[in-house]
Structure 1
Amino acid sequence: MAVFVALGAFLMTLVGGWTAQHVTDRRHLVLGLAGGLMLGVVGLDLLPEALSAAGGEVFGVPAALLLFVAGFLVAHLVERLLAVRRTAHGAHEPAVPGPAHGESHEGGAVSGGRIPQVGLTAAAAMVGHSLMDGVAIGAAFQVGGGMGAAVAIAVITHDFADGFNTYTLTSLYGNARRRAVAMLVADALAPVVGAASTLLFTLPEQPLGAYLGFFGGVLLYLAAAEILPEAHHEHPARSTLLFTIGGVAFIWLVVGVAG
């Protein structure tokens, strides 16, 4: 049953990615919406779940919050290391014009100073999150049908945001379209694989909560330090801000309905 339900997440992820692909003329709105969705997922879904599941405190601070901060710092460190690596390999050379919409050449150079590896790393993190979404569906069905249905509704609904964000993150950093599509397909398949894996084991609650806290920190960094500044860089429009608020409100609605 869990694997069958996870097929809904597979389809919803592809719908989200398709939507992201077909709004290139409103890129700033796409990024504003993506940032809002990511903020909503972190603050209203991932972090509360992590605090509930991760268990005790470490020196007076909930373990989930420590991992949340650790995720933020790791994301920042990875981006800085990649930026230093790029500088060491000729960042001051004249920029080579890339394909349309900032896509990269196959060698990894990217116009506008974007680093393709950052986008691929971020998308890989989204795939890992979607894998854990599938595991969450399977684990919930281990508890009971009602719990499984509730978790499945939440996962399937917000997997639209996952697909949207996976494609956006990959392409934003200058990766070629086929790479973005490949990461989107991997993200769509991940919940099915995760749900199938729970047929083999029972997942402890605390490790799942710890993962959600860490991943929430990574997403917050990407939303606050990368996605939203990019959205307002060339189009500091009121409509972009409204799309960001709308993204947060949508996740709030999803969490409220699922709860």
Structure 2
Amino acid sequence: MAVFVALGAFLMTLAGGWTAQRVTDRRHLVLGLAGGLMLGVVGLDLLPEALRAAGREVFGVPAALLLFVAGFLLAHLVERLLAARQAAHGGEEHAHPAAPHGHDHRAPEVGLTVAAAMVGHSAMDGVAIGAAFQVGGGMGTAVAIAVIAHDFADGFNTFTITSLYGNARRKAVAMLVADACAPVLGALSTSFFTLPEQVLGGYLGLFGGVLLYLAAAEILPEAHHEHPARSTLLCTVAGAAFIWLVVGFSG
């Protein structure tokens, strides 16, 4: 049953990626929406779940929050290191074609790394579905609804982030397909093992920090760089509000 339900997540992820591809002529709106979706997923979905699952504290601070900060700093460190390496090897000559005057120093490896992390997160979504169905049908249904609904945002963000960092379209599509398949494989894996809840909570905290960094430091500034329009801001608010509705209805 869990694998069958995960097929819904597969389809929703592809739908999100397809939507991101079809609106390339409104790139600033796509990025604004992606930033809002990422902010909503982190603040309203990942972080609360991480705090609940991780449980214990370290020096008076929940372990999930420490890993959240660590994820934010890790994303910043990785991007700086890769950008410095790219600049040292003449990366300015290979800047993203969409950037004005060739001043975009984003390293494609960052986009692929984050997309790979999102694939891992989607696999954990599948594990969550499988584990919930092991607890009971009602719990499994509730988790499945939440996962399927927010996997649209996952597919949207996976394609957008991979493309934003200058990767070829085929790589963005490949990461999208991998992200779509991940929940099915994750659900299937629960037939063989059970992931400790504290490990899952720690992972969600770390991944949430990475996503918040990308939303706040990369996606949203890029969205407003050339088009500081009110419509871009509205898309960001709409993205966060959508995740709020998903969490509310699935709760």
Q: Which range, TM-score by smaller chain?
A: over 0.9
CA deviations 1:94-136 (Å, max 9, x no partner) are x35766x56xxxxxxx873321111111111110110111011
Residues 70-149 of structure 1 aligned to structure 2 (within 5 Å): 70-91=70-91, 95=93, 101=98, 112-149=104-141
- Asked if the contact 1:111/1:174 (under 8 Å) is kept, the reply is no
CA gap of 1:33–1:89, structure 2 versus 1, over 3 A, is same
Of residues 143, 150, 158, the one that matches 2:150 is: 158
1: distance between equivalents of 2:70 and 2:193? 28
1: distance between equivalents of 2:51 and 2:11? 29
Q: Say yes or no: does 1:219 pair with 2:211.
A: yes
1: distance between equivalents of 2:126 and 2:211? 19
Residue of structure 1 in register with 2:172 after alignment? 180
SS in 2 for 1:200: coil
Deviation at 1:84, TM superposition (A): 1.3
1: distance between equivalents of 2:103 and 2:17? 23
2: distance between equivalents of 1:138 and 1:203? 10
CA deviations 1:201-237 (Å, max 9, x no partner) are 1221111111111110000001000000000000000
After TM superposition, where is structure 1 displaced by more than 4 Å over at least 4 residues in a row? 96-99
Of residues 216, 228, 232, the one that matches 1:236 is: 228
Q: Say yes or no: does 1:194 pair with 2:208.
A: no
1: distance between equivalents of 2:225 and 2:218? 11
Residue of structure 2 in register with 1:34 after alignment? 34
CA gap of 1:10–1:28, structure 2 versus 1, over 3 A, is same
2: distance between equivalents of 1:145 and 1:111? 53
One-letter code of the match for 1:252?
W
CA gap of 1:158–1:98, structure 2 versus 1, over 3 A, is closer
1: distance between equivalents of 2:96 and 2:144? 41
- Asked if the contact 1:69/1:214 (under 8 Å) is kept, the reply is yes
Q: Which moved more, 1:113-122 or 1:240-249?
A: 113-122
CA gap of 1:89–1:196, structure 2 versus 1, over 3 A, is same
1: distance between equivalents of 2:95 and 2:202? 43
CA gap of 1:98–1:151, structure 2 versus 1, over 3 A, is closer
Residue of structure 2 in register with 1:6 after alignment? 6
- Asked if the contact 1:31/1:230 (under 8 Å) is kept, the reply is yes
SS in 1 for 2:192: coil
CA gap of 1:23–1:211, structure 2 versus 1, over 3 A, is same
1: distance between equivalents of 2:95 and 2:58? 50
Alignment RMSD (CA, Å): 1.4
SS in 1 for 2:68: helix
TM-score by length of 2: 0.96
1: distance between equivalents of 2:96 and 2:48? 41
CA gap of 1:199–1:86, structure 2 versus 1, over 3 A, is same
TM-score by length of 1: 0.93
Structure 1: 5+ residue stretches without partners: 103-109
One-letter code of the match for 1:57?
E
